[in-house]
Amino acid sequence: MTGTTSAGTVQLADDLVLTRMGYGAMQLAGPMVWGPPKDRDAAKSVLSAVVDLGITHIDTSDYYGPHTVNELIREALHPYPVGLHIVTKIGARRGPDKSWPAALSRDELVQAVHDNLEHLGLESLDLVNLRMTDSREAATIAGPFSVLASLQQEGLIRHLGVSNASAEQVAAAQSIAPVVAVQNFYNLAVRADDALVDQCAEQDIAFVPFFPLGGFRPLQSGALERVAASLGISRVQVALAWLLQRSPTILLIPGTSCAAHLRENAAAAGVELPAEAVTALNAVGIADRFVPWGQR
Ligand SMILES: NC(=O)c1ccc[n+]([C@@H]2O[C@H](COP(=O)([O-])OP(=O)(O)OC[C@H]3O[C@@H](n4cnc5c(N)ncnc54)[C@H](OP(=O)(O)O)[C@@H]3O)[C@@H](O)[C@H]2O)c1
């Protein structure tokens, strides 16, 4: 059993089994998630290593680059191995200034699904997350999520998720169509969604933390340093192992552009943190108020 598979899998639907240790592909684009990477072959070799490690969950979006990351995934991995699931998200676009404005109109959502299908070389998308932008009001999700539900009915999408969403928005989306995953900002230090993490576990829904390592601002904590030193593993591995132990339906998508980091992260799937380490790490987080991630 490899490190990656030792954390096991979560079955979200008959045709959707994801390894709890997945991979987030955003870091494969150029700086500021814009344009191509400096070394295209190196980026593709990271993707090949993802498959070699037995990971069945790759998280992406057509707005990474834009288009670049999906094109890299297609070049590196198409035709896709049986069992590999490429999870994408729609609801934003890239401005010429590299910003991430919302793109939640019907036309923009339909176009985004077709762009993902084309650039990934797929006829249907296994799981699409609707990424909300800066509103946490339940009412704001109904219109765009209904568009995704209609695309699901057409067969262009198999399963639906939400991202950057409040508990109220998750419930509002569930009243329209089944939600199999919630992808929100959450890690050892950013714990505003603690209750939602537990709620997802109660409902057998995946909670997929983005920025599990802090994203553009790496996690820093004395407790993390001390636990890592005492166990003889890296801080990154401690942070990922804590998330895996936090909830049985947490799935990880740590991002990296480096094959050595990918292997280090994947090995965290085999780490079991002792109870006293978990207690020390639990104290790190602050259940702060929601701030859209772009403004942090
Ligand atoms: N739904 C949303 O709105 C949303 C928003 C942001 C991200 N996401 C998704 O979440 C995924 C994860 O987020 P993320 O990549 O931004 O943040 P992250 O996983 O928290 O951190 C990535 C950063 O950590 C570094 N890193 C990774 N492994 C490392 C290691 N073993 N040692 C040292 N440094 C390491 C990476 O640099 P190197 O490249 O040098 O390893 C990169 O700078 C993304 O890929 C994307 O798919 C979703």
Residue 286: predicted pLDDT: 60
- For residue 23, give the ligand 1 atom closest to its CA: 45
Mean per-residue pLDDT, 99-121: 98
- pLDDT tens digit string along 194-244? 999 999 999 999 999 999 999 999 999 999 999 999 999 999 999 999 999
| Ligand 1 site, CB within 6 A | 24-27, 59, 89, 131, 163-164, 183, 210-215, 236, 253-258, 261, 264-265, 293
Among 48-52, 113-117, 119-123, 137-141, which is the least confidently predicted range? 137-141
The residues, ordered by sequence, that sit 6+ positions from 211 with a Cβ below 8 Å of its Cβ are 185, 186, 187, 190, 293
The catalytically annotated residue of 23, 64, 80, 186 is: 64
Q: Which CATH architecture best describes the domain 15-222+249-270?
A: Alpha-Beta Barrel (3.20)
Mean per-residue pLDDT, 26-48: 97
Mean per-residue pLDDT, 144-166: 98
- Domain locations in the chain? 15-222+249-270
Write down the pTM of the prediction: 0.95
Among 55-59, 123-127, 160-164, 218-222, which is the least confidently predicted range? 218-222
The torsion angles phi and psi of 200, rounded to 5 degrees, stand at: -65, -40
Helix spans in 208-258 (H):
222-231, 235-246
Q: Are 158 and 125 in contact (CB under 8 A)?
A: yes
The residues, ordered by sequence, that sit 6+ positions from 101 with a Cβ below 8 Å of its Cβ are 92, 93, 95, 133
The reply to whether 23 belongs to the active site is: no
